[in-house]
Amino acid sequence: MSWDLMALALLIGAIWGSFLNVCIHRIPLEESVVTPRSRCPGCRHLIAWHDNLPIISWLWLRARCRHCQTAISPLYPLVESITALLTLATLYKFGLTPTGVALVVLGYALITLTVIDFYHYILPDVITLPGIGVGVALSFLPWFHEPLAFWQESLAGVVTGGGGFWLFGWLFQRITGKEGLGLGDVKLTALFGAWFGWQALPFIIFMSAVLGSVAGIAWIVVSGRDRSLPIPFGPYLALAAWGYLYLGPMVYGWYLGRPVLLY
Ligand SMILES: [Zn+2]
């Protein structure tokens, strides 16, 4: 990848990050992500395009609205920066190929889901359900290669991801007496099954359980969080799935040639 293409990937990623911010704020409210244009939550002024540039405007305006000085959350430039870096890192690793572009789009969906789950404890169906459908559809098309699944692996992934994780949640509830995992987590696991195939699920579920436990305990110990509060699990599932993209080949030995599965 040449330097100018890398710069372009960062720029396009930051612009998409700006759109993800809109999705993150409006989808939990069930508002349209297309219209109307963004307004300052403090003074309702329409935000001019030059005050709405990803990352730059936030720094230039020193994190305040131009009109009423209401503080603008650092979450906006944070999401834009992460989206820009994810775009670059994904295209760098998987190339400017159909697979690379599909993974960038999946990454955008995961950033949106992660932030929404973190603040609202929901993984909206409007993202997870179409995400499952897209994963299955891509598995039937010839232009996509690993780490995306073949269709047999994809369909088996939806069933084992959805069913297995539902069972895991049910057992968790029976044993601990707590509502541990939501249906949103089940759908997100089915989504990863659809995209990466059933064989990715042991890694993703194990890693997310480790990450979630460590973070959950740290959260309670360090910040004195009430242990009866729910802990969003979606962010750890998403992080584990992204880890699978980078560590999966090592763990599963893809470098020895693709393992023969299911056939
Ligand atoms: Zn304002």
pLDDT, one tens digit per residue, over 171-230 is 877 887 776 677 899 999 999 999 999 999 999 999 998 998 898 888 888 877 777 777
pLDDT for res 196: 96
The dihedral of CA 164, 169, 172, 174: what is its sign?
A: negative
The answer to pTM > 0.95 is: no
The verdict on residue 89 lying in a domain is no
- Ion ligand 1: residues, CB < 5 A: 40, 42-43, 65, 67-68, 70
Three-state SS for 64? strand
In the 8-state DSSP scheme, what is residue 39? B
In a domain, 101, yes or no: yes
pLDDT at 165 over 70: yes
Cis peptide before 77 (omega within 30 of 0): no
Max CA separation in the chain (angstroms): 64
Residues 102 and 66 in one domain: no
Mean pLDDT, the chain, rounded, equals 89
Final residue before a domain boundary, out of 14, 47, 78: 78
CA 228 to chain centre: 26
Ligand 1 centroid, distance to 53 Cα (angstroms): 16
48 and 145 housed in the same domain: no
Distance 121 CA to ligand 1 centre (A): 28
Would 204 be classed as within a structural domain?
yes
Mean pLDDT value across residues 4-31: 95
Position 260 scores a pLDDT of 46
Q: Range of 247's domain?
A: 97-263
Say yes or no: 153 and 74 in one domain.
Answer: no
Tell me what pLDDT residue 158 has.
Answer: 96
- CA–centroid distance, 62 to ligand 1, in Å, is 13
CA 44–ligand 1 middle distance (angstroms): 6
Q: Looking at residue 137, what is its pLDDT?
A: 97
Same domain? 249 vs 188: yes
Confidence category of residue 145, pLDDT binned at 50, 70, 90: confident
Q: How far is the CA of 227 from the centre of ligand 1 (A)?
A: 37
Q: Are residues 2 and 107 in the same domain?
A: no
Q: Choose the final residue of a domain: 51, 78, 105.
A: 78
- Are 26 and 156 within one domain? no
- Cα 71 to averaged position of ligand 1 atoms, centre (Å): 9
Dihedral angle sign, alpha carbons of residues 222, 244, 112, 159: negative
- Pair (105, 233) in one structural domain: yes
88 in any annotated domain: no
* In a shared domain, residues 55 and 18: yes
- Distance (Å) from CA 129 to ligand 1 centroid: 36
83 CA → ligand 1 middle, Å: 25
Tell me the C-alpha distance between 50 and 53, whole Å.
6
Same domain, 52 and 122: no
Does 87 fall in a domain? no
Whether residue 202 contacts residue 238, with contact meaning beta carbons closer than 8 Å, is answered with no
Last residue of a domain, one of 16, 44, 78: 78
pLDDT of residue 263: 36
86 located within any domain: no
Task: Give the model confidence (pLDDT) of 30-64 as tens digits.
Answer: 999 988 888 898 898 999 888 889 999 999 999 99
- The answer to the question of residue 152 being in a domain is yes
Q: How many domains does the chain have?
A: 2
Q: Are residues 260 and 157 in the same domain?
A: yes
The stretch 59-75 carries a mean pLDDT of 92
Tens digit of each residue's pLDDT (9 = 90 or more) over 121-133: 999 999 999 999 9
Q: Same domain for 114 and 224?
A: yes
Q: Helix crossing, 98-120 with 3-26: angle to 10°? A: 40
Measured in Å, residue 70 CA sits from the centre of ligand 1 at: 6
Residue 185 domain-assigned (yes or no) = yes
Distance 105 CA to ligand 1 centre (A): 32
Place of tokens 């004195």: 224
Same domain, 178 and 111: yes
Query: For residue 73, how far is its CA from the centre of ligand 1 (angstroms)?
Result: 13
164 to 157, 193, 204, 248: CA distances (angstroms): 10, 11, 12, 20
Ligand 1 centroid distance, CA of 228 (Å) = 37
Q: How far is CA 209 from CA 4, 6, 123, 258, in A?
A: 39, 34, 17, 27
Q: What percent of the chain has pLDDT over 70?
A: 94
Residue 23 and residue 110 in contact, taking contact as beta carbons nearer than 8 Å: no
Q: Which of 22-31, 105-114, 216-225 has the lowest mean pLDDT?
A: 216-225
Centre of ligand 1 from the C-alpha of residue 196, in Å: 44
